[in-house]
Amino acid sequence: MSRVAATILFAALALVVCAGSPARAGEAWQGRAIHGCDVEEGYRPFTYYEQDRQPRGYDVDLMREAIEGTGLRLEVRFLPPKRCASAADSGEMDLDMADPWSDALAEAWLVSHPIWHTTDALFYDRTRFPGGLTVAEIRAHPAAHPGCGIFGYPYEDFPKGEIDTSAYTYDTAFTRMLSGHCEFVVEALEFGLEYRYRGRRLLEDPRLAVVTLPLRPQPGAPQKVDPDGRFPYYIYLRRTFPDAPALLARIDATIALWQRTGKDREVMARYLDLARLEAAR
């Protein structure tokens, strides 16, 4: 490890110790629930649930480790996107569990270090496009290639109007695409590989195919899109949560430790077949 990296890691761990002191935890956090929100279908592999409705996923594990020993307990609710957004805006929710960069969120909330770097992709109907659907063709003639997306997501890499965002659930978006309403659905590859559509993984449906979508870096906004064309995902924390800066320091220190030791991939492998992900990229 370089001297600079060692210094950064030591400082991050020191923040954890400081934020996790008994006095601090007892005053601000002891016995308190911290409420996270995600979309009602869940967002595999980051935050989702099975039949027991208990939250699971990469950022659930990350948050639980970050708050270990503080007296906090994590509670996650799964709501329709609009309801989830309003609950976050009203202060009813304390965490946006995993999202790409948002200028509006970053202004209103505290933002963690990136927790994972997703690969965006287009999911399409192979029976409609047996020769494949190319990103180059879509970008060259956007008006001829309508897409489907989810309400509330900006889709900034596409011209205004190309993506129909009237769907409130992923099931609806994929159903519309397969019925010919649009040609593709835009979503993170990580999500698409694990999403259950009609009871099975999305790409287990013989009609569905995928092509990765290299995103175009946006000058002046490197936090939105990485130079390799991937989306960093973040945890957003309500600024008015008790002792929020100390809690964010704990979250960031946990992220740094996971990435330094490789635990990020170890934990993600519990929820996502990393070999399938690398093969699909």
Structural domains of the chain in order of their starting residue, each with its CATH number:
3-117+232-280 (3.40.190.10), 120-212 (3.40.190.10)
pLDDT tens-digit readout, 101-136: 777 778 889 999 999 999 889 999 999 999 999 999
Cβ atoms 195, 170 nearer than 8 A = yes
Tokens of 197: 């559509």
Going 62 to 64 to 70 to 72, the CA torsion angle's sign is positive
What is the rounded average pLDDT for all residues in the chain? 84
Longest dimension (CA), the chain: 63
pLDDT at 3: 39
Going by C-alpha positions, the residue among 116, 117, 122 that lies closest to residue 137 is: 122
Half-sphere exposure of 110 (CA within 13 A, CB side): 19
Task: Give the residue, 167 or 91, on which the prediction is more confident.
Answer: 167
Q: What does the alpha-carbon distance between residue 251 and residue 15 come to, in Å, rounded to a whole number?
A: 10
Cβ atoms 177, 148 nearer than 8 A = yes
Distance of CA 197 to the CA centre of its chain: 19
Give the model's confidence band at 217: pLDDT under 50 very low, under 70 low, under 90 confident, else very high. low
Give the model's confidence band at 86: pLDDT under 50 very low, under 70 low, under 90 confident, else very high. confident
Q: C-alpha distances in angstroms, 268 versus 68, 77, 186, 190? A: 19, 21, 22, 10
Tokens of 161: 């109007």
pLDDT at 98: 85
pLDDT tens-digit readout, 135-162: 999 999 999 999 999 887 778 778 889 9
Give the model's confidence band at 5: pLDDT under 50 very low, under 70 low, under 90 confident, else very high. very low
Give me the DSSP letters along the chain: --HHHHHHHHHHHHHHHHHT-HHHHHHHTTT-EEEEEEETT-BTTTBEE-TT--EESHHHHHHHHHTTTTT-EEEEEEE-HHHHHHHHHHTS--EEEEE---HHHHHHEEEPSP-EEE-EEEEEETTT-TT---HHHHHHSGGG--EEEETT---TTS-TTSEEEEESSHHHHHHHHHTTS-SEEEEEHHHHHH-EETTEEGGGSTTEEEEE-PPPP-TT-TTTS-TTS-EEEEEEEETTSTTHHHHHHHHHHHHHHHHHHTHHHHHHTTTS-HHHHHHH-
The mean pLDDT value for 251-280 works out to 94
Task: Give the residue, 1 or 51, on which the prediction is more confident.
Answer: 51
Q: What does R_g of the chain's alpha carbons equal in angstroms?
A: 20
pLDDT at 223: 54
pLDDT at 228: 61
